[in-house]
Amino acid sequence: MSEDKKLTIQDIIKWCDEQTEQGFDLKLCWEGGGDSGWCWFEIDGEKCSQPEAEWLIEKMYDVLDYGSWAGEFSTSGEAEYNPETKEFDGTDYFSTEDSFVHTCSKPFTIKIPKTIHFDTLHMECEGEDYSFNINASVTNGFFSKESEAYFDKIETEINAWSEDVLDEINREIGDDQEVTSAYQDYDFDKSDFTEEGDFLVHVFSYYQYRAYQNEPNGVNINLLDLLEDETVD
């Protein structure tokens, strides 16, 4: 094809149909977000850069309308050519990340014997592996080995609880969200605990996490509709 010849919609349809008549699957694909993104064209899973494919890629950029792909989001998707309807039809999976607070159906009860003297309890969730590190502090004095072993026991128990909470969150949110991390510090003063017999008790009932909120949107390029404007740049 001459470089000076402008493609028409009829050229695009003819080219797409010729590929499908040979048994090839045609797809427009894309992914991006966070200041970068791109579209590409595939014939049977292989990238294609023929002029017709390049024109379709530019058209998909226009349809998606993400501009420079700037923003705190991620997106991906594909649209497959239907030779019967002469259209590329698919889904754009658009996701934004946000913070959420989950109220746990089974709270974790922190029980510390009154014989262990402490001022604050610091719990740090490590985020992507969802494990907790627990550190207690005391203004005057130090912890015995028995006291340190007791806090290690709490740490083991709360990490087992964390796994159960994550299972609960994933069941609750289904396919609408995808948990990405749970980086969070939790600090409790001794005054936050209540006395129950020989123990100081605090009920930990919420769990903070970050997740992608997924929003699927239909994407379509109908070549028959575009025939109203025959000449394509």
- The per-residue pLDDT for range 204-213, each reduced to its tens digit, is 999 999 888 8
Query: Which CA distances in Å does 227 have to 28, 93, 142, 197?
Result: 20, 28, 81, 81
- Residues written for the chain: 233
pLDDT beyond 50 at 30: yes
Question: What dihedral angle (degrees, nearest 10) is formed by the CA atoms of 153, 154, 159, 162?
Answer: 150
Quickly state the pLDDT bin for 81 (edges 50, 70, 90): very high
Per the CB < 8 A criterion, the answer to whether 121 and 110 are in contact is yes
Question: pLDDT tens across 149-169, in order?
Answer: 898 999 899 989 988 998 999
Mean pLDDT of the chain: 89
d(CA 188, CA 143): 18
A 10 A CB-CB count for 85 gives 12
Provide the pLDDT for residue 140. 57
Provide the pLDDT for residue 112. 93
Quickly state the pLDDT bin for 2 (edges 50, 70, 90): very low
Structure-model confidence comparison of residues 147 and 200, the more confident one: 200
Provide the pLDDT for residue 230. 63
Q: How far is the first Cα of the chain from the last one, in angstroms, to the nearest whole number?
A: 15
Selection from 8, 14, 31, 32 nearest residue 81 by Cα: 14
Question: Residues 6 or more apart from 49 whose CB is under 8 A from it?
Answer: 41
Selection from 166, 169, 176 nearest residue 128 by Cα: 166
* Domain-wise residue ranges, the chain: 9-96+215-228, 97-214
| Phi/psi of residue 83, nearest 5 degrees | -65, -20
Query: Which secondary structure element, helix H or strand E, spans residue 41, and what is its range?
Result: strand 36-43
A 10 A CB-CB count for 20 gives 15
Query: Which CA distances in Å does 20 have to 25, 57, 85, 131, 190?
Result: 6, 18, 13, 51, 71
Q: E strands along 114-175, which residues?
A: 120-126, 132-137
pLDDT beyond 90 at 227: no
Question: What dihedral angle (degrees, nearest 10) is formed by the CA atoms of 40, 43, 49, 50?
Answer: -140
Pairing of strands 199-222, 26-33: unpaired
Reported as half-sphere exposure (CB side, CA atoms, 13 A), residue 170 has a value of 10
